Amino acid sequence: MPAIQLTATNYDQAEQQFTDLLEMENLDQKVAAQPSIVSNFENALTTAINAAYGESAGDNSAHRFLQRVLYRINRLKLFWYDDLRRYTNERSAYLRTVRDQIEAAWQEWELTQLDVATLQQLNVAQVKQALLDRGDADLDPALSEDSRYLREQMSEAGYRRVLAIGSFDGLVEGSRMCAILGGAANEVQSTLTRVMIEEYGNGRLSRKHSTYFAQMLEEFGMNTEPESYFDLVPWEVLACANHNFLLTDCKRHFLRYNGGLTYFEVAGPAAYRNYLAAAQRLELSAAAMGYWELHIREDERHGRWMLDDVALPLAEKYPENAWELILGYDQERLMGERAGGAIVRSAREAEQK
């Protein structure tokens, strides 16, 4: 029998069904007593996994559906200062099953994008040198075609779209990082805590990075509520968030997470300089670009901390698994570049409209 083909509309309907399930009282008991209430959603889930990660992978509608469903589950790990009833099923066994089903297929597909077998052969000295070499290369990379578009061509309509998509992460700056800070005290933990504290403005809301992002939105009369522009967020950006949730939730992935965070902090200033250059060319106010300036300044320092005081010491401490730092670094770069390309495509579409 040929595989069922679902349209974007069908996936939207399945996602709405899933959204209703999220807030259903006694979800696990109801699913056990009446499995038919989830049959339509589960059929869509199976179809989407095959379409996104199977032999003929590449269905963007399927990718979008899966990443949105996964994010709706993952976001329950954070508190949003909203209706408490929304957390009714935060420890649901059924939701955990859905999450695990998506993650298993998705992560296997993601790992095929990299030569993991070669990375596994690296010894500690090679890992440390690879981290230093990557850090040097990513600190100030050559301008790509997308970078030149942002700096030299993007209009205010495109800039607004960039802000809308960026608000998805920018308004909850660093939240997922909280999950990896607990545990034994040492120099690595202390450095990670310093990074986290600076992201949170040293406990002052006026200095928190998300406040600077909200100020940029306010300059354009845009909505400053977290997730306001969720429907504009490309699946490639959602995948970065979901990947972050996974790595911070599973302590076995601690090295992989910190390799990824090292890339994020090292490469961040180069990306933010593109957005800052666009804002300056558009002659926007200081408030409309303050977030970029802050990040360029602070992330240059954070990148050095992550390399010298987190990644390199972790390689020494876990010599047999040090290669996982490179896996995390390379995977974060790959997924970040994919997300960046999606943001540029969305900005171009906004300009055409």
Tokens standing for residue 208: 């928190």
Report how far residue 204's alpha carbon sits from residue 272's, in angstroms, rounded to the nearest whole number.
23
Report how far residue 160's alpha carbon sits from residue 64's, in angstroms, rounded to the nearest whole number.
22
In contact, 51 and 59? CB cutoff 8 Å: yes
The HSE-up count of residue 188 (CA atoms within 13 Å, CB side) is 20
In contact, 210 and 171? CB cutoff 8 Å: yes
Higher pLDDT, 5 or 197: 197
Q: Who's near 66: CB < 8 A, 6+ residues apart?
A: 45, 48, 49, 52, 102, 106, 235
- pLDDT of 57 reads 65
- pLDDT of 1 reads 38
The residue behind tokens 């902090």 is 265
The 3-state DSSP class for residue 348 equals helix
Q: How far is CA 80 from CA 46, 90, 102, 179, 305, in A?
A: 30, 13, 24, 16, 30
Average pLDDT over residues 272-291: 92
Mean model confidence pLDDT for the chain: 94
Could you tell me the pLDDT band of residue 101, with boundaries at 50, 70 and 90?
A: very high
Could you tell me the pLDDT band of residue 7, with boundaries at 50, 70 and 90?
A: confident
pLDDT tens-digit readout, 221-251: 999 999 999 999 999 999 999 999 999 999 9
Average pLDDT over residues 77-101: 96
> Mind listing the domains of the chain with CATH numbers?
8-111 (no CATH), 116-352 (1.20.910.10)
Report how far residue 132's alpha carbon sits from residue 149's, in angstroms, rounded to the nearest whole number.
29
pLDDT tens-digit readout, 23-71: 999 999 999 999 999 999 999 999 999 999 987 667 999 999 999 999 9
Name the maximum alpha-carbon separation found in the chain: 61
Q: What is the pTM of this model?
A: 0.95
Report how far residue 249's alpha carbon sits from residue 179's, in angstroms, rounded to the nearest whole number.
7
What b/e readout covers 139-160, taking b as 16+ CB neighbours within 10 angstroms? beeeeeebbebbbeebebebbb
Report how far residue 314's alpha carbon sits from residue 318's, in angstroms, rounded to the nearest whole number.
6
- pLDDT of 3 reads 47
Q: If you count DSSP H runs as helices and E runs as strands, how many of each does the chain have, helices first?
A: 16, 0
Q: Which of 235, 299, 263 is nearest to 132 (CA)?
A: 263
Report how far residue 44's alpha carbon sits from residue 15's, in angstroms, rounded to the nearest whole number.
9
Q: Who's near 26: CB < 8 A, 6+ residues apart?
A: none
Cβ count within 10 A of residue 93: 11
Q: Which of 272, 236, 256 is nearest to 140 (CA)?
A: 272
DSSP 180: G
Cβ count within 10 A of residue 337: 15
Report how far residue 261's alpha carbon sits from residue 264's, in angstroms, rounded to the nearest whole number.
5
